[in-house]
Chain A
């Protein structure tokens, strides 16, 4: 145990420099996904394998499109959070670890942006 004052231990929000923010965010996104997952999976699965028309028919309505956008945003956020922990746990080399963490976050948000833009395009083109 290092000789530290209580203040020094929490200064800068602890060793991860973000306090409980990441932990809390993971719980928040998982609670949202309990509801969003069935709402997204069923219509998406129904359209799967039935061609382009079935996909357009599903996402040219506000309801399914809204659920899809919400699911994609929260799922990509959750995926990024989860893979971040995996990288932090298994990649000790500092440079590689930082690089992977940066790439992970960027890819997660890029995936979210692509998915949201795709659903929006299908919705507004009709």
Chain B
């Protein structure tokens, strides 16, 4: 009996060829979006500080941040923020010891990704 299943058993992760599950990739994305938003935080504080310093500095900051490059960075940060917030809520759910079964996790993967895109578009519509 001991060898009936030989060759068809799950192997322990072989790190160099191991294909990360989507949940693991999204966990790494959580960290990347979090660290990446440092740039967004600097831009937001720049805009506020410039607004306090002088009307000229304020106009300059506003123009830079809403240039095509600025808009691209801010849109990326907005999506990162929405993703990080939604996935963060899932992490809080995990932290209280729930949502560890694979069915929930796989569904939540798509919910978090899809939700982040939807929320990003919603915010863009709300602020235009």
Contacts and interface: CB of A to CB of B under 8 A. Distances in A.
Nearest to A82: B34
Contacts of A117: 49, 52
B101 interface: no
Contacts of A45: 78, 123, 126-127
Interface stretch (B3-11, B14-22, B37-45, B106-114): B37-45
Interface in A40-86: 41-42, 44-46, 48-52, 55-56, 59, 68, 72, 75-76, 79, 82-83, 86
A33 interface: yes
Instruction: Indicate the size class of the contact surface on chain A.
Output: 35 or more
Nearest to B96: A27
The interface centre, meaning the residue of B42, B59, B62, B65 with most chain A CB atoms within 10 A of its CB, is B62
Nearest to B45: A115
Contacts, number: 94
Nearest to A56: B51
Contact of B38 (A27, A44, A83, A119): A83
A68 B47 CA distance: 13
A42 B81 CA distance: 13
Chain B interface SS verdict (over half): helix
Contact of B51 (A27, A41, A55, A75): A55
B81 A41 contact: yes
Contacts of B126: 42, 45-46
16 contacts: A30-B92, A34-B88, A42-B123, A45-B126, A45-B127, A48-B65, A48-B74, A51-B59, A52-B55, A52-B58, A55-B51, A72-B45, A82-B35, A114-B49, A115-B45, A119-B52
Closest A-B pairs by Cβ, 7 of them: A45-B127, A121-B52, A52-B58, A49-B66, A118-B48, A118-B52, A118-B49
